[in-house]
Chains A and B, each alone.
Chain A
Amino acid sequence: MAKVYQDLRSFLTTLEENGQLVRIKDEVDPEPDIAAAGRAAANLENGPAVLFENIKGYPYSVVTNVHGSWANHALMLGMPKTASTKEQFHEINRRWDKYPVKPEILSREQAPCKENTIDNPDEINLFDILPLYRINEQDGGFFLSKASIITADPTEPENFDKLNVGTYRIQVKGRNRVGIQALAFHDIAVQLEAAERKNEKVPICITVGNSPLVTYMASTPVMYTQNEYEFVGALQDGVPTRIVKSDLFDNLYVPAGSEVVLEGYIEPRVREVEGPFGEFPGSYSGSRRQCVITITHITHRTNPIFENLYLGIPWTEIDFLIALNTSVPLYQQIKRDLPEVQAVNAMYTHGIGCIISTKVRFGGFGKEVAFRLLSTPHGGSYSKIIIIVDEFVDPFNLPQVMWALTTRVRPDKDVVVIPNCPGMPLDPSSYPAGIHSKLIIDATTPKDPEPNPREAELLEPPAGYEKYEALIRKLMAEM
């Protein structure tokens, strides 16, 4: 049984035991030191998490780059820290099939996140609890970049399947006020629209500092009616994750081990300036008028740790976090209908670029696979450049993908542009923001009834090459 974490703290201990967490004990300034360390850790091969123990003016600590390397990502799954990206992809897929695993609901007394309570709305002050800081120089304020946010469907608040756990950027706007980015194609926007049509507040819990797989699932594009907590149990290889009822709202459940839980409401029909904010494409997304939340209640662990991430020019922590958790659900959703699909690599810029490996059932099938991607909840808006390769090409191996492009693509028939499709507004090439063209490149070998006047016969490796691989490895090890 793989190692399972029910809170952030136990995972940080494992990271430290594996040489994947460093502590900075000297006092630092909130700006620019915490952001600089996040950038620096991401620049290193297998960069560690960085824990700041002493931040000027604040009582508590900050940890950054928790998910920011393949080693940390493997440890999150309880795998050896040397596990390859492809090994991690297949292991996640194996566990994915265990969904749903019902979470374990703890009593209030059992839940560490309830150790301390601030229930007087006049005493709410986020700066007392969280060492808030600016992430990038031109950001409009201090942001929570890694919170797991819980909301229910206002038309069916009791429906646990429709309870949503998602990650949305949060801008701090006062001691008890924050802004939230609720993009129209994300689940929270469905719930917000239903409430705003009736001019009703949206109950919300913002949780900070969670077990690594809670954060992982919060940023995973599963279907609207799939509960993320039930996926956390699956990815924990069948071990349920622990949750507890929110103090204010009977239908909202938060991770029992959260460091900090902020409870409050999205104010209906209100939009205020939010941003700019440096985003995962490596550029700033400009100011927009976005939603506002009032926080009225806080619970937190004693000595809470503020878990936050740096994001900027790829790769940073967020690119590791959203690499496989974008690829796996897209693979699962496409494979359900098209079992010929072998693997999906949606690691690049949150799936804006996507490479799919598939067997070709009949002529033109590569394009059918691309169309299926473009009708998934995530691929529909995000995926812009789609490359389809044969089943013998590893989509995670870019030299192999370049081989497929150079030897399988006839641009006059294999390259297609579809204008005026749903797009991702944070992609700086999307114009107008939220609209883009789709580029499909079919790099598969033609199959009947598509004519293939020049058959491409693949070379077979010379007999006995496996034996020589083993021998050469052995001889090198002995040198």
Chain B
Amino acid sequence: MKCPRCDSNKIEVIATSPVGNVWEVYECMDCFYSWRSTETPNIHEKFKLTKEQIDNLPVIPPVPPLDK
């Protein structure tokens, strides 16, 4: 299985339905996109991510320097 957003293959099952065996939830461990097995993700081109883009995303809020 591949991540529909960043194409990574580091996918984990983060949940199975608490009632019945009707769905699972998957998550990409590189970009943290998650989706349910009953969904069909259709990620817009502008929301897809490459490894380089992930590394360069803005940081909110900025991490302050450590006190000496």
Contacts and interface: CB of A to CB of B under 8 A. Distances in A.
Interface of A: 29-31, 56-59, 125, 127-128, 134, 137-138, 140-142, 171-175, 179, 181-184, 189, 192-193, 196-199, 269, 271-274, 276, 284, 286-290, 425, 433
B20 A184 contact: no
Instruction: Tell me what chain A mostly uses at the interface: helix, strand, loop, or mixed.
Output: loop
B25 to A, nearest CB: 7
A173 B47 contact: no
B51 to A, nearest CB: 11
A92 to B, nearest CB: 31
B11 interface: no
B49 A273 contact: yes
Given A141-B27, A179-B32, A183-B61, A287 B18 contact: no
5 contacts: A29-B38, A57-B17, A183-B61, A273-B49, A288-B58
Contacts of A284: 47
Contacts of B23: 56-57
Nearest to B42: A137
Contacts of B32: 140-141, 171, 173, 179, 272-274
B57 A142 contact: no
Contacts of B36: 30-31, 134
A196 B64 contact: yes
Given A175-B14, A290-B60, 17 more contacts: A56-B23, A57-B20, A125-B15, A127-B15, A134-B35, A137-B42, A142-B34, A196-B64, A269-B63, A271-B63, A273-B57, A287-B31, A287-B47, A287-B49, A288-B57, A288-B58, A433-B58
Given A57-B18, A127-B15, A197 B66 contact: yes
Name the residue in B32, B33, B34 with the highest tally of chain A Cβ atoms < 10 Å from its Cβ. Answer: B32
Interface in B10-68: 14-15, 17-20, 22-23, 25, 27, 31-36, 38-39, 42-44, 47, 49, 54, 57-67
A172 B44 contact: no
A155 to B, nearest CB: 12
Contacts of A30: 36, 38
Interface of B: 5, 14-15, 17-20, 22-23, 25, 27, 31-36, 38-39, 42-44, 47, 49, 54, 57-67
B33 A141 contact: yes
Given A57-B20, A58-B18, A138-B47, A184 B34 contact: no
A140 B58 contact: no
Nearest to B33: A140
B49 A184 contact: no
A273 B47 CA distance: 12
Nearest to A55: B19
B61 A59 contact: no
Given A181-B60, A269-B63, A288-B57, A134 B33 contact: no
A128 B18 contact: yes
Contacts of A182: 60-61
A196 B67 CA distance: 9
Contacts of A189: 61
A124 B31 CA distance: 23
Contacts of B54: 273
A184 B60 contact: yes
Contact of B34 (A58, A172, A289): A172
Given A140-B33, A271-B59, A273-B31, A58 B19 contact: yes
B67 A173 contact: no
